[in-house]
């Protein structure tokens, strides 16, 4: 499974750090939507779905968490522990976010507007949609 983890360039000086992300530059797609999650309940798992078209970059801008990526054949767990790291999540990846540290904030840059019909929320349906195609 190909993983793309970005290490963004912080613009640091004596005042602190700043990371800037531009579409088609640091981010390989047009950014149509940004959302973020915070106040996660202890032990909670978020996500648990795949998308038919949506591409995303996940950035844990405060605290840390782990991301499970599953292409139907293979699973990988990627820690996100720095505010300058981003994980690319392709459209065909089942993904789950978990082990959020207290106070963690996970920001997501998304290539499409919110569209519930783009979600695959059932794992069996996901395997039918992607996993079996990959095995042929």
49 is catalytic: yes
**CA torsion, ordered 44, 57, 51, 112, to nearest 10 deg:** 120
Using the minimum distance from each CB to ligand TYD, give the nearer residue, 119 or 132: 119
Using the minimum distance from each CB to ligand TYD, give the nearer residue, 35 or 38: 35
Using the minimum distance from each CB to ligand TYD, give the nearer residue, 2 or 41: 41
Binding-residue pattern over the window 66 to 105 for ligand TYD, x denoting contact by CB under 6 A = ----------------------------------------
DSSP 93-121: -EEEEE-PPTT-EEEEEESS---GGGEE-
How many helices and strands (H and E) does the chain possess? 2, 10
> Which residues are bridge partners to 69 per DSSP?
76, 95
**How many chain residues touch ligand TYD (CB under 6 A)?**
6
Half-sphere exposure of 10 (CA within 13 A, CB side): 13
d(CA 44, CA 101): 11
Q: In sequence order, what are the residues at sequence separation of 6 or more whose Cβ sits closer than 8 angstroms to the Cβ of residue 2?
A: none
Q: Which of 26, 29, 31, 46 binds ligand TYD (CB under 6 A)?
A: 46
Tell me how far, at minimum, the Cβ of 110 lies from ligand TYD, in Å: 7
Using the minimum distance from each CB to ligand TYD, give the nearer residue, 20 or 34: 34
Question: Does position 35 bind ligand TYD by CB under 6 A?
Answer: yes
Residues that bind ligand TYD (CB under 6 A): 33, 35, 46-47, 49, 114
Residues carrying an active site annotation: 49
């Amino acid at each position: 499974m190909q993983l793309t983890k970005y290490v963004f360039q912080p613009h640091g000086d004596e005042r602190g750090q700043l990371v800037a992300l531009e579409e088609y530059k640091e981010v390989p797609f047009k950014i149509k939507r940004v959302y973020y999650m915070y106040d996660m309940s202890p032990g909670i798992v978020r996500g648990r779905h795949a998308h038919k078209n949506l591409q995303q970059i996940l950035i844990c801008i405060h605290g840390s968490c782990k991301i499970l990526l599953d292409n139907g054949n293979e699973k990988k767990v990627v820690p996100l522990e720095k505010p300058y790291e981003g994980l690319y999540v392709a459209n065909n990846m089942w993904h789950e976010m978990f082990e959020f540290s207290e106070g963690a904030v996970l920001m997501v840059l998304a290539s499409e507007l919110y569209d519930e019909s783009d979600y695959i929320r059932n794992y069996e349906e996901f395997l039918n949609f992607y996993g079996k195609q990959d095995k042929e």
